[in-house]
Structures are given as structure tokens and as C-alpha cells.
């Protein structure tokens, strides 16, 4: 891999620490400090992903037309603004509802930042390395993202316990500033002109099956990100911040060991095997009676979630022309964002009525549905080859 590729991975890692620090701290702040319910906590987590969904089309178009560097830089500025607004929500003197409203604005800005940075860096990295190694590129990118989430979760909770939300967000504000300094050292890629640009909906139609698989896979991670810490504290278990760490450890381990597998054997078999492992991890979380069993479930969920995005993303890259790559990856990523955005508030309503364990049962069912779709597509793609013999 060329040196600029590793610089971009570092940029992505540092930027995503900002996201990782907010995932467990936001629900703790909303449900604990502000005294609002789990549904409100889930909405505060999920609204950032809603903003990401709604801005994916813009991020892809901006990347294709003005370049990946422009999208990445604008996204980092959104991260900075969002973290500052979240900091303001944690300052003393605000009423609970006012603090919550300010927090939602900050989360929306962070969601737009995530959209721009992710699409920009993914397209930039694929442009540097080439589409033939797109599966490996996406594997490394995911390792950077979820490695940051693994570190950011316990870091955010540690800062939150000592400094409150405002202190944690003050640290989160400085992270994208460091990433901006690194991006300034890198040369952008030339922008490729497209003779004809189809609508975003036509692009979505071409990648919908792959997107649906990624969407269903993302529910398990979203459940851990939004409710693992609350589940641990409700049970009276220590180390609530280690849920994302356990998930991220499994996630990064598989990416490091098997990152090139989709390029070698294809995306669908990798996705099918991965979703089976994720379903088992969610079952373990649902049935866990000890913190060690719950952490093992989070780790296994990370193992399973790890390769679904690069496996399906590889297929997406090969289904579109290079000048539309940013748009396609933006649309594809929006399917995963949809899972993250909906899981928080809907699972929060479920948690209020049935407890936190039910959230992980939903994750189990979602992974099983994703597995069924992946197996169906895999069988359909193999059928012509089988019938020709």
C-alpha cells in the first residue's frame, strides 16, 4: 500500500475517535444526567446516523465532482462544530430539555461529518490503490473505524465519569483538528468527469441487495453501541465501557487476518459466513448471565460484523463506473447508516418495555435475515455455472 493510504487511515482513525467517544456517553448523559428515558437516549444516538443517511448522496456527489479531499476536509470541520455544540449541551445551567435539544443539533453535525469523511476517505483510498484491491482497502478502512470505536468507547466513559459530557467533548473537539493537519499534507486525486450521471435512486437500485445485507448486519453493532453500557449498569456489572472494546477487538482481528478474502473468493460467501457468526454473538449477548459472557457475545458480534461491509462493498465497486464510485459508496453506506439510525430509537422503546436483553434478540433476528438474503444471492449467482455442466 502507498504511504498516503496509511496517512488516510490515520486521519480516519483519529476522526472516528470523536464518534467512538460519543456512542456510550450520549445515552449515559441523556438517561442518567438529564433523567430522560431510553427512547430519548436511543434517539440521541440514532439521529447522528439519520443525518449521515440524508447527507450520503450529497457526500458522494461532492466527492465525484470536487474531489475526495474537499469532502474529507469539510467533514472534519463538521466534526469540530458538532463536538463543540455537544460540549455546550453538557455545560451547567441548561434545563434538561434545552440541553437535550442542543445535544441533538451537535449529533446532527457529527452525523454529516461522518458521512463526508467516510465517503471521501473510502473513495480516496480506492483511487490510490485501485478497484482490484477494493475489498482489502475496505477491510483496512473498517479496521481503522472500528479500532477507533473500540478505543473511543472506554476513553469516552472514563472522561465522562471524571469531567462530565463537556469535558469529554472538549477532548473530542481536538481530534478532528489533528486529522485536518494530517490531511493538509496529502495531495488530492484528480476528478474524473462522467459523460452521464444517473440519479441517486438508479444507483441505489443497482446496489440494493448488497445494501440490505449491510443494513441488517448493522443492527447488531448499533444495539451494542447504544445499549451495552446501559445494560451493564442496569445489571450492576463493572466495566460498562468495554462493550465497544470487545466488539472492536473482534472486528479488527478479522480484518487484519482475513482482509483480502473477499477479493480472493468473492463477497457473498464471506458475508454469509460472517452473518452466521454475528447471529451467534447476538444470541450469546441476549442469554448472558455474567459480564464475561456478555463481553464474549460482543467480541463474537465483532468477529461476525467485520467482513460484511468490505465483502458487499467490493461487489458495489465493481458494479459502477469509476466516475460514479463516490456516489455508489455513499448510497451503499447509507444502508448501514439506516440500521444505525433506526436501531437506537426503536430499540430504546423496546428496552423501556422489555428490558435491554430484548434489544439483542432483535439483533439476532436481523443477522439471520441478512444471512438468508446472502445465501439466496450466492445460490442465484452460482446456479448458471452449475447448470452449464
Spell out the domains of the chain, with CATH numbers in brackets: 1-185 (1.20.1250.20), 200-388 (1.20.1250.20)
- Give this prediction's pTM: 0.71
Distance CA 179, CA 177 (A): 5
Exposure class string for 233-250: b at 16+ Cβ within 10 A, else e? eebebeebbbbbbbbbbb
Would you call 98 exposed, middle or buried from its count of C-beta atoms within 10 A (0-12, 13-18, 19+)?
exposed
Distance CA 314, CA 317 (A): 5
Average pLDDT, rounded, for the chain: 85
Q: What pLDDT, in 10s, does the model give residues 292-326?
A: 999 999 999 999 988 898 888 888 877 777 777 77
> Residues of the chain with pLDDT > 90: what percent?
29
* pLDDT at res. 73: 94
What value does the mean pLDDT take over residues 179-197?
A: 76
Distance CA 12, CA 371 (A): 29
Distance CA 288, CA 357 (A): 9
Distance CA 217, CA 364 (A): 10
Per-residue pLDDT at 272 exceeds 90: yes
> Residues of the chain with pLDDT > 70: what percent?
95
Question: 246 near 61, Cβ under 8 Å?
Answer: no
Q: Helix or strand or coil: residue 188?
A: coil
Q: Which helix (H) or strand (E) holds 141?
A: helix 134-183
Angle in degrees, 0-180, between the axes of helices 200-235 and 38-66, rounded to the nearest 10: 150
Residue bearing the bigger pLDDT, 134 or 289: 289
Pick from 200-214, 275-289, 313-327, 350-364: least confident:
313-327
For the chain, how far is it from start to end, CA to CA, in angstroms?
40
Amino acid at each position: 500500500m502507498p504511504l498516503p493510504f496509511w496517512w488516510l487511515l490515520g486521519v480516519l482513525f483519529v476522526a472516528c475517535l470523536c464518534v467512538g467517544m460519543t456512542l456510550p456517553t450520549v445515552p449515559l448523559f441523556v438517561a442518567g444526567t438529564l433523567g430522560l428515558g431510553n427512547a430519548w437516549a436511543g434517539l440521541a444516538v440514532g439521529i447522528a446516523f439519520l443525518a449521515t443517511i440524508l447527507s450520503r448522496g450529497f457526500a458522494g456527489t461532492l466527492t465525484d465532482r470536487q474531489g475526495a479531499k474537499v469532502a474529507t476536509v469539510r467533514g472534519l470541520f463538521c466534526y469540530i462544530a458538532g463536538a463543540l455544540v455537544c460540549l455546550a449541551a453538557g455545560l451547567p445551567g441548561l434545563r434538561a430539555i434545552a440541553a437535550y435539544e442542543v445535544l441533538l443539533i451537535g449529533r446532527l453535525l457529527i452525523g454529516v461529518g461522518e458521512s463526508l469523511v467516510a465517503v471521501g476517505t473510502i473513495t480516496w483510498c480506492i483511487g490510490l490503490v485501485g478497484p482490484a484491491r477494493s475489498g482489502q482497502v475496505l477491510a483496512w478502512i473498517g479496521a481503522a473505524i472500528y479500532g477507533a470505536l473500540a478505543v473511543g468507547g472506554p476513553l469516552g466513559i472514563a472522561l465522562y465519569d471524571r469531567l462530565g459530557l463537556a469535558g469529554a467533548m472538549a477532548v473530542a473537539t481536538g481530534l478532528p483538528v489533528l486529522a485536518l493537519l494530517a490531511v493538509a499534507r496529502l495531495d488530492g486525486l484528480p476528478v474524473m468527469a462522467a459523460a452521464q450521471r444517473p440519479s441517486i435512486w438508479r444507483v441505489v437500485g443497482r446496489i440494493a441487495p448488497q445494501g440490505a445485507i449491510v443494513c441488517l448486519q448493522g443492527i447488531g453493532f448499533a444495539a451494542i453501541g447504544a445499549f451495552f453500557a446501559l445494560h451493564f449498569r442496569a445489571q450492576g456489572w463493572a466495566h460498562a465501557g468495554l462493550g465497544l472494546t470487545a466488539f472492536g477487538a473482534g472486528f479488527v482481528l478479522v480484518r487484519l487476518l482475513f482482509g483480502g478474502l473477499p477479493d480472493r473468493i468473492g463477497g457473498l460467501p464471506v458475508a454469509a459466513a460472517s452473518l452466521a457468526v454475528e447471529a451467534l454473538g447476538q444470541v450469546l449477548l441476549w442469554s448472558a448471565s455474567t459480564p464475561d459472557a456478555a463481553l464474549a457475545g460482543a467480541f463474537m458480534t465483532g468477529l461476525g460484523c467485520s467482513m460484511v461491509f468490505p465483502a458487499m462493498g467490493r461487489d458495489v465497486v465493481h458494479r459502477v463506473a469509476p466516475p460514479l464510485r463516490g456516489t455508489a459508496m455513499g448510497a451503499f453506506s447509507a444502508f448501514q447508516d439506516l440500521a444505525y439510525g433506526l436501531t437506537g430509537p426503536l430499540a430504546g422503546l423496546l428496552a423501556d418495555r422489555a428490558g435491554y436483553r430484548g434489544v439483542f434478540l432483535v439483533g439476532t433476528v436481523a443477522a439471520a435475515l441478512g444471512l438468508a438474503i446472502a445465501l439466496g444471492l450466492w445460490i442465484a449467482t452460482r446456479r448458471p455455472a452449475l447448470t452449464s455442466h
